[in-house]
Protein backbone atom coordinates (compact mmCIF):
# COMPACT_ATOMS: atom_id res chain seq x y z
CA UNK A 1 0.00 0.00 0.00
CA UNK A 2 1.39 3.37 -1.00
CA UNK A 3 1.03 6.37 1.29
CA UNK A 4 1.39 10.03 0.40
CA UNK A 5 1.42 13.09 2.59
CA UNK A 6 2.64 15.94 0.38
CA UNK A 7 1.10 16.94 -2.96
CA UNK A 8 4.31 15.93 -4.68
CA UNK A 9 4.24 12.44 -3.14
CA UNK A 10 0.60 12.14 -4.08
CA UNK A 11 1.25 13.11 -7.73
CA UNK A 12 3.77 10.31 -8.17
CA UNK A 13 1.45 7.80 -6.45
CA UNK A 14 -1.44 8.98 -8.64
CA UNK A 15 0.62 8.54 -11.80
CA UNK A 16 1.39 4.93 -10.81
CA UNK A 17 -2.27 3.89 -10.38
CA UNK A 18 -3.80 2.26 -13.44
CA UNK A 19 -7.35 2.54 -14.81
CA UNK A 20 -10.43 3.88 -13.07
CA UNK A 21 -9.65 5.31 -9.64
CA UNK A 22 -12.19 4.77 -6.84
CA UNK A 23 -11.91 7.27 -3.98
CA UNK A 24 -13.21 7.13 -0.40
CA UNK A 25 -12.67 10.35 1.58
CA UNK A 26 -12.75 9.77 5.37
CA UNK A 27 -11.86 11.40 8.67
CA UNK A 28 -10.34 8.17 10.02
CA UNK A 29 -11.24 6.04 13.08
CA UNK A 30 -12.36 3.59 10.43
CA UNK A 31 -15.16 1.05 10.97
CA UNK A 32 -17.33 -1.36 8.97
CA UNK A 33 -19.24 1.57 7.42
CA UNK A 34 -16.01 2.84 5.84
CA UNK A 35 -14.94 -0.68 4.88
CA UNK A 36 -18.20 -1.27 2.99
CA UNK A 37 -17.42 1.78 0.81
CA UNK A 38 -13.88 0.50 0.23
CA UNK A 39 -15.07 -3.00 -0.73
CA UNK A 40 -17.61 -1.57 -3.15
CA UNK A 41 -14.91 0.60 -4.76
CA UNK A 42 -12.59 -2.39 -5.07
CA UNK A 43 -15.31 -4.33 -6.90
CA UNK A 44 -16.05 -1.50 -9.32
CA UNK A 45 -12.69 0.20 -9.92
CA UNK A 46 -9.15 -0.72 -11.01
CA UNK A 47 -7.49 1.12 -8.11
CA UNK A 48 -8.80 2.28 -4.73
CA UNK A 49 -7.62 5.27 -2.72
CA UNK A 50 -8.65 6.31 0.79
CA UNK A 51 -7.93 9.73 2.27
CA UNK A 52 -7.79 10.39 6.00
CA UNK A 53 -8.08 14.06 6.92
CA UNK A 54 -9.94 15.46 9.92
CA UNK A 55 -11.20 18.60 8.24
CA UNK A 56 -11.27 21.48 10.76
CA UNK A 57 -13.47 23.76 8.63
CA UNK A 58 -16.48 21.46 8.96
CA UNK A 59 -16.44 21.47 12.78
CA UNK A 60 -18.63 24.14 14.35
CA UNK A 61 -17.45 23.23 17.88
CA UNK A 62 -13.75 23.46 18.77
CA UNK A 63 -14.14 20.77 21.46
CA UNK A 64 -15.71 18.36 18.95
CA UNK A 65 -12.67 18.77 16.68
CA UNK A 66 -10.25 18.38 19.58
CA UNK A 67 -11.96 15.19 20.78
CA UNK A 68 -12.45 13.62 17.35
CA UNK A 69 -10.99 10.08 17.58
CA UNK A 70 -7.55 9.50 16.07
CA UNK A 71 -6.60 5.89 15.31
CA UNK A 72 -4.13 6.41 12.51
CA UNK A 73 -1.93 3.37 13.16
CA UNK A 74 -4.86 0.96 13.41
CA UNK A 75 -6.49 2.57 10.37
CA UNK A 76 -3.36 2.10 8.25
CA UNK A 77 -3.05 -1.53 9.34
CA UNK A 78 -6.66 -2.26 8.40
CA UNK A 79 -6.31 -0.50 5.05
CA UNK A 80 -3.20 -2.53 4.30
CA UNK A 81 -5.07 -5.77 5.18
CA UNK A 82 -7.93 -4.70 2.91
CA UNK A 83 -5.40 -4.25 0.10
CA UNK A 84 -6.23 -0.63 -0.56
CA UNK A 85 -3.82 0.64 -3.23
CA UNK A 86 -3.00 4.02 -1.72
CA UNK A 87 -3.74 6.30 1.22
CA UNK A 88 -3.58 10.09 1.05
CA UNK A 89 -2.85 11.76 4.41
CA UNK A 90 -2.69 15.50 3.90
CA UNK A 91 -2.44 18.13 6.63
CA UNK A 92 -4.22 21.49 7.01
CA UNK A 93 -1.54 23.52 5.18
CA UNK A 94 -1.67 21.23 2.16
CA UNK A 95 -5.45 21.39 1.85
CA UNK A 96 -5.78 25.08 2.81
CA UNK A 97 -2.69 26.89 1.45
CA UNK A 98 -4.67 30.18 1.56
CA UNK A 99 -6.21 29.40 4.95
CA UNK A 100 -9.83 28.85 3.88
CA UNK A 101 -10.08 32.11 1.89
CA UNK A 102 -12.07 30.29 -0.81
CA UNK A 103 -15.22 28.45 0.24
CA UNK A 104 -17.99 26.55 -1.52
CA UNK A 105 -21.34 27.87 -0.42
CA UNK A 106 -24.63 26.20 -1.24
CA UNK A 107 -27.77 28.14 -0.42
CA UNK A 108 -30.69 25.74 -0.05
CA UNK A 109 -30.16 22.18 1.14
CA UNK A 110 -27.26 23.23 3.39
CA UNK A 111 -29.54 25.41 5.52
CA UNK A 112 -31.96 22.65 6.60
CA UNK A 113 -31.49 19.68 9.00
CA UNK A 114 -27.85 19.58 10.22
CA UNK A 115 -27.08 22.85 8.41
CA UNK A 116 -29.48 24.69 10.71
CA UNK A 117 -27.74 23.39 13.81
CA UNK A 118 -24.12 23.35 12.63
CA UNK A 119 -23.28 26.75 11.13
CA UNK A 120 -20.79 26.56 8.29
CA UNK A 121 -20.62 22.76 8.46
CA UNK A 122 -21.60 22.05 4.86
CA UNK A 123 -19.42 24.83 3.42
CA UNK A 124 -16.52 23.09 5.15
CA UNK A 125 -17.58 19.71 3.77
CA UNK A 126 -18.16 20.89 0.19
CA UNK A 127 -14.94 22.90 0.12
CA UNK A 128 -12.78 20.00 1.31
CA UNK A 129 -14.49 17.51 -1.01
CA UNK A 130 -13.96 19.78 -4.03
CA UNK A 131 -10.30 20.24 -3.10
CA UNK A 132 -9.82 16.48 -2.59
CA UNK A 133 -11.48 15.73 -5.95
CA UNK A 134 -9.14 18.20 -7.68
CA UNK A 135 -6.06 16.71 -6.02
CA UNK A 136 -6.98 13.00 -6.20
CA UNK A 137 -8.73 13.12 -9.62
CA UNK A 138 -10.90 10.02 -9.07
CA UNK A 139 -13.20 8.47 -11.66
CA UNK A 140 -15.68 7.48 -8.94
CA UNK A 141 -16.11 8.59 -5.34
CA UNK A 142 -18.00 6.62 -2.68
CA UNK A 143 -20.17 8.20 0.02
CA UNK A 144 -22.44 6.68 2.67
CA UNK A 145 -26.17 7.34 3.01
CA UNK A 146 -25.45 7.64 6.74
CA UNK A 147 -24.65 11.28 5.88
CA UNK A 148 -27.53 11.57 3.44
CA UNK A 149 -27.72 15.38 3.40
CA UNK A 150 -23.99 15.54 2.72
CA UNK A 151 -24.36 12.96 -0.07
CA UNK A 152 -27.10 14.99 -1.77
CA UNK A 153 -25.12 18.20 -1.50
CA UNK A 154 -22.07 16.53 -3.05
CA UNK A 155 -24.16 15.00 -5.87
CA UNK A 156 -25.62 18.42 -6.67
CA UNK A 157 -22.21 20.15 -6.43
CA UNK A 158 -20.74 17.65 -8.92
CA UNK A 159 -23.57 18.31 -11.34
CA UNK A 160 -23.70 22.09 -10.86
CA UNK A 161 -19.92 22.65 -11.11
CA UNK A 162 -19.55 20.16 -14.02
CA UNK A 163 -17.07 17.98 -12.13
CA UNK A 164 -16.08 14.79 -13.94
CA UNK A 165 -16.46 12.29 -11.10
CA UNK A 166 -19.25 9.78 -10.61
CA UNK A 167 -20.73 9.78 -7.09
CA UNK A 168 -21.71 6.34 -5.78
CA UNK A 169 -24.18 6.23 -2.87
CA UNK A 170 -23.72 3.32 -0.43
CA UNK A 171 -26.24 2.00 2.14
CA UNK A 172 -25.94 2.59 5.90
CA UNK A 173 -24.05 -0.12 7.80
CA UNK A 174 -25.50 -0.77 11.26
CA UNK A 175 -24.55 -2.61 14.42
CA UNK A 176 -26.64 -5.73 15.11
CA UNK A 177 -28.87 -3.68 17.42
CA UNK A 178 -29.59 -1.12 14.67
CA UNK A 179 -27.25 1.69 15.74
CA UNK A 180 -25.68 3.24 12.63
CA UNK A 181 -21.92 2.77 12.75
CA UNK A 182 -20.02 5.98 13.38
CA UNK A 183 -16.57 7.01 14.57
CA UNK A 184 -18.36 9.03 17.24
CA UNK A 185 -19.89 5.87 18.80
CA UNK A 186 -16.46 5.31 20.40
CA UNK A 187 -17.23 8.20 22.76
CA UNK A 188 -20.47 6.73 24.14
CA UNK A 189 -20.36 5.54 27.75
CA UNK A 190 -21.62 2.00 28.47
CA UNK A 191 -24.94 3.40 29.60
CA UNK A 192 -25.28 5.70 26.57
CA UNK A 193 -24.31 2.86 24.23
CA UNK A 194 -27.11 0.68 25.59
CA UNK A 195 -29.63 3.50 25.05
CA UNK A 196 -28.35 4.41 21.56
CA UNK A 197 -30.27 1.78 19.48
CA UNK A 198 -33.53 3.46 20.56
CA UNK A 199 -32.61 6.31 18.20
CA UNK A 200 -32.89 4.15 15.08
CA UNK A 201 -35.89 2.26 16.52
CA UNK A 202 -37.78 5.51 17.15
CA UNK A 203 -37.05 6.80 13.64
CA UNK A 204 -38.38 3.55 12.17
CA UNK A 205 -41.38 2.96 14.44
CA UNK A 206 -42.85 6.40 15.22
CA UNK A 207 -45.96 7.43 13.30
CA UNK A 208 -44.54 10.89 12.68
CA UNK A 209 -41.59 13.14 13.62
CA UNK A 210 -43.38 14.52 16.71
CA UNK A 211 -43.92 11.06 18.13
CA UNK A 212 -40.25 10.19 17.50
CA UNK A 213 -39.13 13.36 19.32
CA UNK A 214 -41.42 12.57 22.27
CA UNK A 215 -40.16 8.98 22.56
CA UNK A 216 -36.53 10.06 22.35
CA UNK A 217 -36.86 12.86 24.90
CA UNK A 218 -38.70 10.54 27.29
CA UNK A 219 -35.75 8.14 27.07
CA UNK A 220 -33.14 10.80 27.87
CA UNK A 221 -31.98 11.93 24.42
CA UNK A 222 -31.58 15.63 23.69
CA UNK A 223 -33.12 16.07 20.25
CA UNK A 224 -31.81 18.58 17.67
CA UNK A 225 -34.43 17.54 15.13
CA UNK A 226 -36.52 14.78 13.62
CA UNK A 227 -37.78 15.95 10.22
CA UNK A 228 -38.80 14.50 6.88
CA UNK A 229 -37.40 15.45 3.48
CA UNK A 230 -36.64 13.64 0.20
CA UNK A 231 -38.89 10.72 1.21
CA UNK A 232 -36.75 10.04 4.29
CA UNK A 233 -36.97 10.67 8.01
CA UNK A 234 -33.87 12.34 9.44
CA UNK A 235 -32.80 12.70 13.05
CA UNK A 236 -29.99 14.28 15.06
CA UNK A 237 -29.73 13.71 18.81
CA UNK A 238 -27.31 14.06 21.66
CA UNK A 239 -26.48 11.36 24.19
CA UNK A 240 -24.37 13.28 26.69
CA UNK A 241 -21.82 15.16 24.56
CA UNK A 242 -22.04 12.76 21.64
CA UNK A 243 -24.05 13.89 18.64
CA UNK A 244 -25.59 11.09 16.58
CA UNK A 245 -27.30 11.36 13.20
CA UNK A 246 -29.32 8.79 11.30
CA UNK A 247 -31.98 8.57 8.59
CA UNK A 248 -34.42 5.99 7.24
CA UNK A 249 -36.41 5.71 4.01
CA UNK A 250 -40.15 6.28 4.58
P1 LIG B 1 -16.45 10.09 7.94
O2 LIG B 1 -15.13 9.44 8.21
O3 LIG B 1 -17.39 10.06 9.09
O4 LIG B 1 -16.30 11.46 7.30
O5 LIG B 1 -17.15 9.18 6.83
C6 LIG B 1 -16.53 8.89 5.61
C7 LIG B 1 -17.53 8.24 4.69
O8 LIG B 1 -18.01 7.03 5.27
C9 LIG B 1 -18.76 9.13 4.43
O10 LIG B 1 -19.14 9.00 3.06
C11 LIG B 1 -19.80 8.52 5.34
O12 LIG B 1 -21.12 8.73 4.90
C13 LIG B 1 -19.43 7.04 5.25
N14 LIG B 1 -19.96 6.34 6.43
C15 LIG B 1 -19.75 6.61 7.75
N16 LIG B 1 -20.45 5.78 8.54
C17 LIG B 1 -21.14 4.95 7.70
C18 LIG B 1 -22.05 3.87 7.89
N19 LIG B 1 -22.42 3.48 9.12
N20 LIG B 1 -22.57 3.26 6.81
C21 LIG B 1 -22.23 3.66 5.55
N22 LIG B 1 -21.36 4.66 5.30
C23 LIG B 1 -20.83 5.31 6.35
* C-alpha separations of 232 from 176, 227, 228, 249 in Å: 22, 8, 6, 4
Q: What pLDDT, on a 0 to 100 scale, did the predictor assign at position 3?
A: 98
What digits encode the pLDDT tens for the residues 103-137? 999 999 999 999 999 999 999 999 999 999 999 99
**Ligand 1 neighbours (beta carbon < 6 A):** 26-27, 33-34, 36-37, 143-144, 146-147, 170, 172-173, 180-183
pLDDT band at 100 (very low <50, low <70, confident <90, very high): very high
For residue 246, the CA-to-ligand 1 centroid distance in Å is 11
For residue 17, the CA-to-ligand 1 centroid distance in Å is 24
Distance of CA 165 to the CA centre of its chain: 18
Q: Which helix (H) or strand (E) holds 214?
A: helix 209-218
Cross-strand pairs, 25 = 51
Mean pLDDT of the chain: 98
First-to-last C-alpha distance (Å) of the chain:
41
What digits encode the pLDDT tens for the residues 40-93? 999 999 999 999 999 999 999 999 999 999 999 999 999 999 999 999 999 999
Q: 245: how many CB neighbours lie within 10 A of its CB?
A: 21
Amino acid sequence: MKTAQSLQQWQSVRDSLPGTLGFIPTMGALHEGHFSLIERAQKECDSTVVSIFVNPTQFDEKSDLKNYPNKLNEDLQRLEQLKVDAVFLPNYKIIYPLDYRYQVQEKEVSSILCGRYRKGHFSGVLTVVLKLFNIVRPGRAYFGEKDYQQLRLIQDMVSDLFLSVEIVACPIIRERDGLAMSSRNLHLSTEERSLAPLFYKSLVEANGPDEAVRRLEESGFKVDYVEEYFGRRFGAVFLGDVRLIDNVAL
